[in-house]
Homo-oligomer: A and B are copies of this chain.
Amino acid sequence: MTDTIGLLHPGEMGASVGAAARGNDGQVLWASEGRGPETRARAAEAELTDVETLSALVERSRIILGVCPPHAATEVARAVAGQRFSGTYVDANAVSPATVRDIQRIVETGGASFVDGGIIGPPALTRGTTRLYLSGTESARVAACFRRGPLEARVLDGPPGAASALKMAYAAWTKGSAALLIAIRTLAIHEGVDAALIREWELSQSALPGRSAGAVRSNARKAWRFSGEMEEIADTFAATGLPDGFHRAAAEIYRRMTDYKDAAHVPSVEEVASRMPAGAAPHEVTAAR
């Protein structure tokens, strides 16, 4: 029997992490107070144990995993520290090493030990798709909770910050290059050269017609939560003395796609392009629903 784990919160990714830990004979707790019906449904499907309140979760967990959109990572850690959690807190979010160090300070001040985590891959349903990278002294203890099952835990030889730096570097390409492709197709459409670009790509960059259309299709409805991650990546570049413009721009592209959150349809490249440029602020973009 591994340590009892508390999970904050069962989003799509978090629920898969919780299910993976539960599959190791671990009990995984969550706190339903203030959460919506979709979160409850995911937690039920992942067979997580509802302890209702954060204070009950803190009291009963040896390890707490924070899995949430990057903009909420610090706030979640602060809530846990406010309950004087004295176990091991794992921040598994897509945040910069600097944000990780802030979170470490917050949870250690509250009395906990800290492990930095970074998840690479889609929600873990089958083994081989998704890895949880860990760094910090208690990493092996956390990794033990995932010995079997779909999520592969890997301990990095480095201090807290290393796992998040790896996640930042990885997503800098996957989500950064997708935003670049969306921007390029938008430019080409507005300049009247999109058909010519596609023909040239077919000759000399044959993966790009499909990849650019896929960048729109698979990211439109998730874009709302990518802009925060792009800002964290930009901060990571800036902290190393590298230009942060790639990912400030990527954040802006995804911000302009925010209204596709929960959209009933997957938009075409042309639809996204037509709503994208001329400096439209998110609130000026209206997705056809």
Instruction: Give me the interface of A with B, judged by CB distance under 8 Å.
Output: 97, 120-121, 131, 133, 156, 158, 161-162, 165-166, 168-170, 172-174, 176-177, 179-181, 183-184, 186-188, 190-193, 196-197, 200-201, 203-205, 208, 236-237, 240-250, 252-253, 276-280
Contact in complex: B205, A277 (CB < 8 Å): no
A-B contact pairs, 19 of them (CB 8 A): A97-B191, A165-B188, A166-B188, A166-B196, A166-B197, A168-B187, A169-B184, A169-B188, A170-B197, A172-B180, A172-B184, A173-B184, A177-B177, A187-B236, A191-B236, A240-B278, A242-B277, A243-B249, A245-B252
Residues of B within 8 A of A208 (CB): 173
For the complex of A and B, the 8 pairs showing the least CB-CB separation, nearest first, are A245-B245, A245-B249, A165-B191, A241-B278, A243-B249, A241-B277, A243-B252, A166-B193
Q: How far is the CA of A97 from the CA of B179 in the complex (A)?
A: 22
In this complex, what residue of B is CB-closest to A207? B207
In this complex, what residue of B is CB-closest to A186? B242
In this complex, what residue of B is CB-closest to A165? B191
Q: Decide if the interface of chain A is mainly helix, strand, loop or mixed.
A: helix
Residues of B within 8 A of A204 (CB): 120-121
Q: How far is the CA of A169 from the CA of B168 in the complex (A)?
A: 26
Q: How far is the CA of A191 from the CA of B236 in the complex (A)?
A: 10
Contact in complex: B162, A192 (CB < 8 Å): yes
Q: How far is the CA of A201 from the CA of B186 in the complex (A)?
A: 28
Q: How far is the CA of A237 from the CA of B248 in the complex (A)?
A: 14
Q: How far is the CA of A205 from the CA of B177 in the complex (A)?
A: 13
